[in-house]
Chain A
Amino acid sequence: MAKKSKGYKDTKLEEKLKDRYFRTSESHPDFLEKVEEISKTIPHMCYQCGTCTGSCPSAPRSSYRIRYFVRRAVLGLEEEQLTDPDLWLCTTCYSCTDRCPRDIAPTDVIMACRNLAYQRGIVPVNFLKTVQAIYSSGHGVPNNDANRAARKRLGLTADPPTTHMYPEYIKGIQKILDHYKIKEQADKIVAEAEKK
């Protein structure tokens, strides 16, 4: 259900006085099911202790609260969850997962939600640039000169034994990405974002 407003002219005030009730009608019961199926973890066991947020290196620097994402999954708040830009602030460091006393993997809840958001085309463009980077180089973060120098200093080859060393395998990676239509979907979202 749409959040009701009172029709004030001042947009700031309007936002402030918006109806903020949580109504059960907002909840998509199958959302939790989907999240649990993809994440293979048990957000419904969360007792909201906040250990995850307390552990999170992202939380003190942003409005990102991993605990809220676990909670919203439980309540089935699909729209709010998938459209929240904070969904993309997790560094996937797994600190929260290491410490959650309920043995939940909050990181994997986030990853599942990112998957679901992606299916609906809700992804920040900079993330999709990663897809394109992988497609062209086989790497999310391709090697650079500084890295090459550092590797040499450590007695390693300048390029790692990946597609950087064996570019002939890039084709295989592209095949996989094409099979799942990842590149296609990424290009589509980027194109739409650029249109706006």
Chain B
Amino acid sequence: MVDITSEKNPRIGVFVCHCGTNIAGSIDVKDVVEYAKTLPNVVHAEDYQYVCSTPGQKKIEDAIKEKNLTGTVVAACSPRLHEPTFRRATQEGGLNPYRFEMANIREQNSWVHMHEKEEATAKAKDAVRIAVAKASLLQDLKPKFVDVEPAALVVGAGVAGMQAALDLANAGIKTYLIEKNPTIGGRMSQLDKTFPTLDCSQCILTPKMVEVGRNENIELMTYSEVEEVDGFIGNFSVKIRKKARGVLTPDEAEAKGIVGGGCNGCGDCEAVCPVIKPNPFEMGMKPRKAIYIYHPQVVPLIYTVDFDSCIKCGLCQTACGEKKAIDLEMQDEFVDLKVGTVVLALGYDIFPVEKKTEWGYKQFDNVVTSLEFERLICASGPTGGHLIRPSDGATPKRIGFVLCAGSRDNTGIGKPYCSRFCCMYSLKHAHQIIEKIPGAVPYIFYMDIRSFGKMYEEFYYRIQDEGAKFIRGRVSNILEDPATKNLHVYAEDTLLGRPVDVELDMVVLAAAVQPSAETEKTRRLFGVSCSQDGWLLEAHPKLNPCGTTTAGVYVAGVCQGPKDIPDTVAQAEGAASAASIPIHLGKVELEPYFAQCIEEKCAGCGMCVNLCPYQALSLVEKDGRKVMQVTEAKCKGCGTCGAYCPGGAIWMQHFTTPQIIAQIDAFLVGGEQ
């Protein structure tokens, strides 16, 4: 039941922070304190150098005890970081922690009015007066605790998602790993070697893929997508669409009573399938059938039917024989999951670099992207690791690498950010051709070489030493000699100050990267924000890089912004750790900012029910009439319902109508209530 009585004799303490010169440099702090002392209900006011420091917090505790305060106001910085600190200090002093109010005189005042001391001081006084008015009416509130479903969901099974899932699983948590492709591994499985150690990418990835496939705590769902999301931290309900794969796993076959059946990856079906399509894993440079696997190391090793190109001739079914693994009439299925926390690891795509027409990608045969280069140089790739020119199959000797191909580009066509791994992989590519092709010379066209990681600068040194030619200048355009299909690469060697025309056999574009195609849809389902460029937004770039503004949802890997494998894995471990905490605690605390129904006033009209954007409201029978009921764990305290209710039956805790009116009055009429 809601108690709407307010404090009879409020006694408020005000603490004004200097924040070094952040505040005191543009606001007369002493003057603000003297002013605060004159405000109604204020029985104590003081200033301090850093109120958030241990002695500063102690001042709040002491004042509460000595002056018998009923509420505290700190005039300082943004509540985003320090509200919890001051709440704790208020609680230590013996008050309910919600009897604290903050006046942001730094971000909203001293910082924006740096050179207007007088006006800024006057504005600080306004802010303090408003905060005191509210503090006088604050009430004791109790946070709500909700139980946490002891399971986690990881979306996307690139190296980020795999690492996060493994960490969660190894911490004893049941983990669902969802991947839209038929296999896990993501982009990393398309790479040949990895900088700066030059490990074979698939060799270091396959053991992890196998581990993911085998881990008892991981329930792997490949060829699956998130369809619907409902709920909140601790209690997410997620509907997964298992796309019709057309092929049964041995387990699925057994469930259907087919003894010893299901796909064992033998490939008999593939051999007879008459449909030929480009394999996207090989960047379209190798064919696959309508029934296919991407590559021999896929996990799980199960074939998939591409129903968009399958002609349903049934030859595969005959070839599969007794295993009866193939079902050409298979339909999508839906699975409902209950999880406590979620990690998004949605990865990235390559920017369509043909949009920068001056470099001739998709116009000239011998201009390729770096990801295509990875497949062309890879022993398991379409050419068995023999780098060839697409135009004539010849071995290229002079190869150009165009860095920042669409990155650091403010024209609106490319991407304004640095893609962060192209410098390093282009150095790696230069090394690879020197190693594989006798006499090969790499020309690296660069603006800056960003070799910022551990052992990265040393790697740059090594490639330079191996004979790569570095030309400091961005490539302006590329033209093809129609007779030879050789490429003329134009740039300025900015160190010489001369334009160059370098004739090359092949050019590799280090194309920018962008969020993967499904990122936008998926992040919306989970209510996660994104930056202007579409990368998922972390809760705080420095202090909460794995969290998001949606409690219980975390991010890992390139979907949060370009990063290489070491950084991806490190962030994935961070996200897994963050996602495991609520699960291990078993319950989470919700701030008590939820709506309350004053049942005597509720007419049961139900208008608010449909207005709530979070489906937190419902009508229930009580004492023979209908009243509104709040599912507190779902309410985000947005206030939509409270502002609407014509009968004033909705009470917004911590933002009550009397509190807000008192604030407005304090601003307009100077504090008299």
Contact = CB atoms under 8 A, between A and B. Distances in A.
Nearest to A55: B476
B493 interface: yes
Contacts of A65: 492, 497
B501 A60 contact: yes
A49 B405 CA distance: 12
Nearest to B492: A50
A68 interface: yes
B-side interface mostly: loop
A31 B476 CA distance: 28
A52 B476 CA distance: 7
A101 B412 contact: no
Most chain B CB atoms below 10 A, which of A45, A52, A53, A99: A53
A48 interface: yes
Given A51-B474, A54-B477, A55-B476, A101 B414 contact: yes
B414 A59 contact: no
Contact of A101 (B410, B492, B493, B500): B410
A107 to B, nearest CB: 14
Contact of A55 (B404, B414, B490, B501): B490
B499 A47 contact: no
Contacts of B673: none
B411 A54 contact: no
B411 A50 contact: no
Interface in A37-93: 45, 47-56, 59-60, 65, 67-68
A103 interface: yes
Interface string B455-492: 00000000000000000111111000000000000111
Interface in A95-144: 95, 99-103
A48 B500 CA distance: 16
B412 A59 contact: no
B447 interface: yes
A103 B413 CA distance: 10
Most chain A CB atoms below 10 A, which of B410, B412, B499: B499
Nearest to A50: B492
A103 B410 contact: yes
A74 to B, nearest CB: 15
B408 interface: yes
B358 interface: yes
A196 to B, nearest CB: 31
Contact of A54 (B410, B412, B414, B490): B490
Contacts, number: 68
B474 A56 contact: no
A51 B405 CA distance: 12
A178 B458 CA distance: 66
B402 to A, nearest CB: 11
Interface residues of A, number: 22
Contacts of B447: 47, 49
Contacts of A95: 476
A56 B501 CA distance: 12
Contacts of A103: 410-412
Most chain B CB atoms below 10 A, which of A47, A51, A60: A51
Contact of A49 (B358, B473, B490, B500): B473
A192 B408 CA distance: 48
A166 B343 CA distance: 74
Contacts of B476: 50-55, 95, 99
B448 to A, nearest CB: 8
B76 to A, nearest CB: 36
A102 B411 CA distance: 6
B7 interface: no
Interface in B396-419: 404, 408-412, 414
Given A53-B476, A101-B409, 18 more contacts: A45-B410, A47-B447, A50-B472, A50-B474, A51-B491, A51-B492, A52-B492, A54-B473, A54-B474, A54-B499, A60-B499, A65-B492, A67-B494, A68-B497, A99-B476, A100-B411, A101-B408, A101-B411
27 contacts: A47-B447, A49-B447, A50-B473, A50-B476, A50-B493, A51-B473, A51-B476, A53-B476, A53-B494, A54-B475, A54-B491, A54-B492, A54-B499, A54-B500, A55-B490, A59-B499, A60-B499, A67-B492, A68-B497, A99-B476, A99-B477, A100-B411, A101-B408, A101-B409, A101-B411, A103-B410, A103-B411
CB-based closest 6 A-B pairs: A50-B492, A54-B476, A53-B492, A49-B474, A50-B473, A55-B476
